[in-house]
Amino acid sequence: MMEKGNCFVCGPSNDVGLRLHFEMDREKQQAECSTVITADYQGWSGIAHGGIIASILDGSMVYACKSIGLLCRTAELNVRYKKEIPLNVPVHIQATVRDHVRWLSYHVVHTDAVIKINGKVAARAKGKMFVDKKQGKHDAVR
């Protein structure tokens, strides 16, 4: 599962990807970044594609897990689109670990994420993440 730089959301080697860089905070169990979504990721005219928004929210929640030293895979993603996200406008993405529990042989992490424009929520997501058993934990970056 270890990223080799080609992730669509955060990979620096992906020429068509978003190349987002998330700042992580172990204390807050949080990851965040700011970006501008360009016309390369358009859905309807002048509006970011909903699948791109879902990908950004998904990636941010993986980084929230990473902030506490857990490598996770998304098991469930529930996205609520509150309003259209226009192209070429600064957006702020923030994801947080809500809790994590062990269930049978699984370690499940529940996460929340939002995309805001000028401080107002444009999209939000809830995620259920499974800790990657092969990779286990890694050192969180602050």
What is the per-residue pLDDT across 70-102, written as a single tens digit (0 to 9) for each?
999 999 999 999 999 999 999 999 999 999 888
DSSP class of residue 110 equals E
Q: What is the pLDDT of residues 46-75, one digit of tens each?
A: 999 999 999 999 999 999 999 999 999 999
- Name the amino acid, one letter, at 10: C
Task: List the domains of the chain with CATH numbers.
Answer: 23-131 (3.10.129.10)
Residues 66/32, Cβ–Cβ less than 8 Å = no
